[in-house]
Structures are given as structure tokens and as C-alpha cells.
């Protein structure tokens, strides 16, 4: 096989130069060793350093990024980095709180990373490590420390990055990472060999109709060489082997990775996943997230691996935290690049850092706008409306995880992310409208920003909650309680016309319609009393959704199984009215 290289001795050096050059907005190369360094790093946290042999791209250098690793120590093709590379790479990103190393469990990696750690410890730098041993085919359970690390690296690095980014100390970050490691199981199969750059022959040879079952990531022998089998047969056998190595049972939740080894197409990976999902469904095991990609490769090796990552509530929290690198992203940090935040991120700043509106990495713990001490509002000026909607935007964004959890029970889990993203866009627009004199224009602009950014049904429906009622209204500088009630009635009518939902269909209408009725019944009592009544009516409507089967959305197919769960859209409506009341009340 001909490789597109210059000289075999320079493959890793030139590869890293090209990789860092292509993504220079994110990375720099260590000047003295083959280390990839993240430019924008969160200050004052445990540093996460990953690494191993090159040739598995995008693992490991491609998993350096925001919410992932701070650096990767890269060895030669399929060879561990030397201790000095480990030491120098870690020194470049250490922030005073210690270094957590994550790498695959191979003899060379274990020896070299151990020596690198010793060199750091001699200088008073705290270190610890988590070795990934997810390959269930490589050793029995009673010798788990002899198992290899393969594609399970993806989930372990994801969780380790989130734990470090969350500010956990070294001991706690290692504990969470170890839990992720111990909940991750993988098995692989090879259909064709890889060939090292500069070497004339493949690492191993397979007959025309042979496959290597339980293959490692460097061409290591598997547990069985057998005849070619169909995708469904392979997937069922591999799933069974993983299942035997876990305590998975009905009701448990997993993330699934079907990983290509280098030359396997997404088409093939998808066919394998189809069977894996069928088997999980049969066993009553829920899929929280799934990936089909070539993340942990072996040059051009043919074949794939299946990884199951078993979640509990703690691991789900860290898995849900956003991360971004050019080759791997989760949560809201998906885009061409991310915002520079001088207060939190140190290290080298990118010269072409994007504008703040490109991505949202802000963790909103509570609404940022406050009216404390300013008394109860009796009417809503345009500026009051703008600040109220800013308050609601932050409130909804702070509830992203809560809304995601509710939606995950009977939907596809994206409602919290969608609402948070839409509210972020609304906030950006509202921040540009200081000095606006038309209160209706404020509502309309926020609604349009949501409508144009959220996607899915929620974008249309919740965008209309603000936009439809304000559309074509004669400009007013101040809105009364009656004006607000009239506007929301108009929005409700538009939403019902567009979505065709009625009370009892387990949608946001179940909360919105009683809230609007309460506004109309109580608008004569003033703004605060009206919104108190609307908030309570929305809450009751939300609670009523637990009694209903669903007529729309993902939950429709669940029929009676959706009973007992509240609707996520109705929950968002209640939170919005709660936010209105809180702001008006001061």
C-alpha cells in the first residue's frame, strides 16, 4: 500500500505540524516535543493530559479541546510517547491544581506515563492517572487491569474533561473518571489489516473470507479468527459479549459508540448500530446518546468496535456538559470555534477568536437581571419588557438540565437544549435593543430570534408565544395588564392554529390556555395579581399533563406509557409565566 508521506521517520512530526497549522485558532504545538496544547484553557483547574501512540487519529490530538483535554502527548505511530514528552506536555498546561492523565492500558504507555508522572512529582506537582481498559476481549474480568484501552477512550476522556472543567479537585476528578472507565465496555472486530508508514507489509494477514474477532487497536491478535459473518450476526455476538461483562438490566441507560477502525464507512457503522439498538430495545435498555464515527482508528484497518457506556445520574450530568474540538463536540459548543473568555480562560489567546454570538459556553445558574428594591410594577414600559424578557431568558437557560431531564423521559431529550439555545439568541437580540420605545417590538424581536434559531416544533411554537401576539400591533410605549392579556390571547390563537393542539393533548397548550384564561379573568386586578393567577394556572395545567397520553411529538408513540410524565413544553410555559411574575414583583 502506498502512503501519502514524505519520509517514514518524519510522519508524526509533519502530521502534527499540519494538524496544528490547520487548527491554529485552537492549538499550538509544544516547541520541543510532540505535544498538542490547547490555547484557550480554563484557569485554576486540574489539567487533563491524554496521549498515546499516533496513528489512531483523531484520538488523541483530536480530543484536545474545550471541555475535553488540555493537551495530548503524542508518540510515534502505535508507540507510547516517551517520559520527557509526557513531562513537558503536562508542564505546559499545569495550573497549580495537579494533572490528571488518561491513556490506554498498554505496557509502553503505563511505563512511560509513570515515569513522566514521577518527574512532575519530583518538582512538587500533584499527579494521578486513569488507565482505560474497556476491551472485554483482551482479558477476563478477574484480570481487568490487563485489558487494553480501545474506543472506550472517547467516553472516558469526555467525562474526565467535564469533571476537570467543572472545577473538581484532583482526587474527585479521578474518582469520576474511574467510574466512567469502569462503566465502559468495548469489543472490536477486524476485517482487514493496517499497514505502518514505511513498512512494506501489513501488520497481519487475513484470508479472503476471514475476520479477527476481538482485535486490538494496534493489530494485536484477537481472541478468535473466524469466517466472514453478516453485520447482524457480528453485532449480536459482540453485544452479547459486552452484556455478559456488565450488570446492565431493563431500565438502565447507556451511550453507544459504533467506532470505525479507519476504512469502515458510516453506512456500515449505521447498519451495525441498527442491530445493536434492536437488541437494547429487546432488553429494555434505553439509549441516552449514540455516535457512529471513526474516532479511535488504526490507520486504514477495516472493521469496527461497539462500546456501551452505562450511565448513572452523576455520569449523565458530566456527559451532558458541552465540549468542543474540531473532531468531537457535545452540547451547545458546536461550531467553527468558540469565544475567548479572559476571566476564565488563560494560556495563549487566539488571534482570530470569534465574536461572542457564535457560541454559548455560559453556565447560567440563575437569572442575571434583578429588580430588587424597585417595587412592584403596575405597567410594563418597553425597557421593563426588555429586562423582563432578559430575566426569563436567563431563567430558562438555567433550567436547561431540568427541561432536558423531563423531555428525556418520554421525548428525545432535546427540549432543554433547544429552549436554552433559543433564549440565548433572544437575549443577544434584546441586548441590542436598549432604548427601544415600542414594547411590542421588544416581544416581537425576541420571538423572531427564537423562531429563526431553535429549529423543530419548539422554535415555531415558543417563538410564536412572543412574536404572534406582538405582530402587527400598533406601537405602544407602555403595556397595561389588559394589553399583556390581549397579546397572549392572540399568541395562543396563533399557536393553536399552527400546531392544531388542544387542551388534553399533552403539549404546551395544556399550560398556556389556562394561563391566558387566568390573565383575562384577573387583568382588572393589576399586573402582579394577573400574573400570579396565570402562573398558578400554568402550573396546574402542567401537572394535568401527567394524566394524558400524547397526541403530538415523540411521546405520541408511547401511548399509555406516557401517562405519569409531565410535558416539557408545558413546563417551559409555566417557567416563563413564573419568570414574568418574579420580575414584576421585583
Domain boundary, last residue among 326, 346, 371: 326
Mark whether 402 and 299 lie in a shared domain: no
Tell me the mean pLDDT in the region 47-51. Answer: 98
In a shared domain, residues 142 and 22: yes
Looking at mean pLDDT, say which of 81-85, 373-377, 406-410 comes out highest: 81-85
Task: Kindly state whether residues 67 and 158 are assigned to the same domain.
Answer: yes
pLDDT higher than 50, residue 54? yes
Query: What is d(CA 247, CA 252) in angstroms, rounded to the nearest whole number?
Result: 10
Task: Return d(Cα 132, Cα 110) in angstroms, integer.
Answer: 11
Global pTM value: 0.60
User: What CATH code is carried by the domain that includes residue 409?
Assistant: 1.25.40.340
Q: Is residue 584 packed enough to be buried (19+ CB in 10 Å), middle (13-18) or exposed (0-12)?
A: buried
The tally of domains found in the chain comes to 2
Q: What is the pLDDT of residue 456?
A: 52
Weakest mean pLDDT among 17-21, 266-270, 353-357, 540-544: 353-357
Whether 216 is in a domain gets the answer yes
Kind plus residue range of the DSSP H or E element containing 257: strand 253-260
**pLDDT number for residue 473:** 92
- Which residue shows C-alpha cell 481472541? 223
Point out the least confidently predicted range of 17-21, 473-477, 554-558. Answer: 554-558
Mean of all residue pLDDT scores within the chain: 87
- Compute the average pLDDT of residues 28-56: 94
Q: Give mean pLDDT, residues 253-257.
A: 98
Is 275 a domain residue? yes
Pair 59, 208 in one domain: yes
Whether residue 359 lies inside any domain: the answer is no
Indicate the pLDDT class of residue 351, thresholds 50, 70 and 90: very low
CA 148 to chain centre: 26
Q: Are residues 169 and 247 in the same domain?
A: yes
β-strands 35-38, 71-77 pairing: antiparallel
Mean pLDDT throughout 544-558? Answer: 77
Residues 35 and 148 in one domain: yes
The tens digit of pLDDT for each residue in 446-489 reads: 998 887 766 556 777 888 889 889 988 999 999 999 999 999 99
Q: State how far the Cα of 442 lies from the Cα of 425, in Å rounded to an integer.
A: 13
Give residue 350's pLDDT band: very low, low, confident or very high (50, 70, 90). very low
The single residue of 30, 56, 129, 218 carrying the catalytic annotation is 218
Comparing 15 with 211, which gets the higher pLDDT?
15
**Annotated catalytic, 218?**
yes
Do both 551 and 469 map to the same domain? yes
Task: Find the range with the poorest average confidence among 114-118, 170-174, 328-332.
Answer: 328-332
Structural domain includes residue 368 = no
Looking at the structure, tell me whether residues 189 and 305 fall in a common domain: yes
478: in domain:
yes
Task: Characterize 495-505 residue by residue with b for buried, 16 or more Cβ atoms within 10 angstroms of its Cβ, and e for exposed.
Answer: bbeebebebeb
Task: From 287, 306, 326, give the residue that closes a domain.
Answer: 326
**pLDDT, position 340:** 35
16-30, 225-239, 370-384, 486-500: which is most confident: 16-30
Residue 337: per-residue pLDDT: 31
Q: Do both 242 and 321 map to the same domain?
A: yes
Whether 254 is covered by a domain: the verdict is yes
Q: What confidence category does residue 5 fall into, taking pLDDT thresholds of 50, 70 and 90?
A: confident
Does residue 368 have a pLDDT over 70?
no
Higher pLDDT, 359 or 94: 94
Q: How many of the other CB atoms lie within 10 Å of CB of 29? A: 19
Task: Reply yes or no on whether the pLDDT at 354 is more than 50.
Answer: no
Grid-cell match 431500565, residue found: 251
Our measurement of the distance from residue 48's CA atom to the centroid of its chain's CA atoms, rounded to an integer in Å, reads: 18
Examine residue 3 and state whether it is found in any structural domain, yes or no: no
Q: Is the dihedral of CA 113, 115, 119, 121 positive or negative?
A: positive
User: Which domain does 416 fall in, by range?
Assistant: 380-585
pLDDT, position 237? 93
User: Is 532 inside any structural domain?
Assistant: yes
Contacts of 90 (CB under 8 A, 6+ apart): 47, 49, 71, 73, 99, 101, 116, 120, 125, 127
The reported pLDDT for the residue numbered 335 is 37
**Last residue of one domain, picked from the residues 281, 298, 326:** 326
pLDDT of amino acid 343: 37
| Cell numbers at 57, concatenated | 487519529
Q: Is the pLDDT of residue 366 over 80?
A: no
Strand order in the sheet with 27-29: 27-29, 35-38, 71-77, 47-54, 99-104, 127-132
Quick one: 455 and 387 in the same domain? Answer: yes
265 plus 412 within the same structural domain: no
pLDDT digit string (tens) for 130-142? 999 999 988 899 9
Q: How do the residues of the chain divide into helix, strand and coil, expressed in percent and rounded to 5? A: 45, 15, 35
Q: CATH code at 251?
A: 3.40.50.10440
Q: Are residues 437 and 305 in the same domain?
A: no
Amino acid at each position: 500500500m502506498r502512503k501519502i508521506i514524505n519520509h517514514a521517520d518524519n510522519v508524526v512530526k509533519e502530521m502534527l505540524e499540519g494538524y496544528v497549522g490547520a487548527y491554529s485558532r485552537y492549538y499550538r504545538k509544544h516547541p520541543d516535543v510532540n505535544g498538542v496544547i490547547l490555547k484557550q484553557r480554563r484557569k485554576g483547574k486540574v489539567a487533563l493530559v491524554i496521549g498515546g501512540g499516533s496513528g489512531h487519529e483523531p484520538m488523541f490530538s483530536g480530543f484536545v479541546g474545550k471541555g475535553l483535554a488540555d493537551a495530548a502527548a503524542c508518540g510515534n505511530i502505535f508507540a507510547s510517547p516517551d517520559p520527557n514528552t509526557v513531562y513537558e506536555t503536562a508542564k505546559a498546561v499545569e495550573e497549580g491544581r495537579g494533572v490528571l492523565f488518561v491513556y490506554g492500558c498498554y505496557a509502553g504507555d503505563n511505563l512511560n506515563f509513570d515515569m513522566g508522572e514521577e518527574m512532575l512529582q519530583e518538582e512538587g506537582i500533584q499527579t494521578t492517572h486513569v488507565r482505560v481498559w474497556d476491551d472485554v476481549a483482551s482479558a477476563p474480568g478477574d484480570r481487568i487491569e490487563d485489558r487494553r484501552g480501545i474506543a472506550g477512550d472517547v467516553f472516558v476522556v469526555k467525562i474526565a474533561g467535564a469533571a476537570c472543567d467543572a472545577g473538581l479537585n484532583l482526587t474527585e476528578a479521578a474518582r469520576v473518571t474511574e467510574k466512567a472507565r469502569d462503566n465502559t465496555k468495548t469489543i472490536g472486530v477486524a476485517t482487514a489489516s493496517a499497514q505502518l508508514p514505511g513498512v512494506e507489509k501489513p501488520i497481519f494477514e487475513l484470508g479472503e473470507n476471514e475476520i479477527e474477532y476481538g482485535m486490538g487497536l494496534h493489530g494485536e491478535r484477537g481472541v478468535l479468527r473466524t469466517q466472514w459473518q453478516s453485520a447482524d450476526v457480528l453485532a449480536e455476538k459482540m453485544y452479547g459479549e459486552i452484556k455478559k461483562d456488565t450488570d446492565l438490566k431493563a431500565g438502565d441507560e447507556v451511550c453507544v459508540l459504533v467506532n470505525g477502525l479507519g476504512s469502515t464507512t458510516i453506512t456500515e457503522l449505521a447498519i451495525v448500530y441498527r442491530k445493536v439498538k434492536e437488541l437494547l430495545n429487546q432488553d429494555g435498555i434505553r439509549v441516552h446518546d449514540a455516535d457512529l464515527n471513526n474516532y479511535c482508528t488504526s490507520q486504514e484497518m477495516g472493521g469496527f468496535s461497539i462500546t456501551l457506556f452505562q450511565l448513572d445520574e452523576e455520569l449523565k450530568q458530566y456527559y451532558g456538559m458541552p465540549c468542543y474540538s474540531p473532531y468531537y463536540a457535545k452540547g451547545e459548543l458546536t461550531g467553527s470555534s468558540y469565544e475567548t473568555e479572559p476571566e476564565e480562560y488563560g494560556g495563549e489567546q487566539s488571534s482570530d477568536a470569534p465574536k461572542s454570538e457564535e457560541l454559548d459556553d455560559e453556565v447560567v445558574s440563575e437569572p442575571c437581571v434583578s429588580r430588587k428594591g424597585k417595587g412592584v410594577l403596575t405597567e410594563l414600559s418597553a425597557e421593563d419588557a426588555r429586562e423582563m424578557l432578559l430575566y426569563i431568558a436567563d431563567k430558562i437557560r438555567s433550567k436547561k438540565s431540568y427541561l432536558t431531564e423531563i423531555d428525556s423521559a418520554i421525548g428525545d431529550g432535546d427540549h432543554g437544549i433547544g429552549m436554552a439555545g433559543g433564549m440565548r439568541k433572544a437575549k443577544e437580540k434584546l441586548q441590542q435593543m436598549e432604548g427601544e420605545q415600542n414594547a411590542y417590538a421588544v416581544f416581537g424581536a425576541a420571538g423572531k430570534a427564537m423562531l429563526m434559531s431553535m429549529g423543530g416544533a419548539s422554535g415555531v411554537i415558543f417563538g410564536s408565544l412572543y412574536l404572534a401576539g406582538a405582530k402587527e400591533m400598533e406601537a405602544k410605549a407602555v403595556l397595561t395588564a389588559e394589553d399583556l392579556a390581549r397579546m397572549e390571547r392572540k399568541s395562543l390563537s396563533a399557536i393553536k392554529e399552527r400546531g392544531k393542539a388542544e387542551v388534553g393533548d399533552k403539549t404546551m397548550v395544556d399550560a398556556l390556555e389556562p394561563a391566558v384564561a387566568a390573565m383575562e379573568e384577573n387583568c382588572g386586578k393589576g399586573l402582579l395579581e394577573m400574573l400570579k393567577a396565570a402562573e398558578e394556572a400554568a402550573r396546574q395545567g402542567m401537572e394535568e399533563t401527567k394524566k394524558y397520553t400524547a397526541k403530538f411529538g415523540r411521546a405520541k408513540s408511547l401511548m399509555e406509557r406516557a401517562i405519569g410524565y409531565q410535558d416539557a413544553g408545558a413546563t417551559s410555559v409555566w417557567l416563563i409565566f413564573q419568570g414574568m411574575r418574579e420580575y414584576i414583583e421585583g
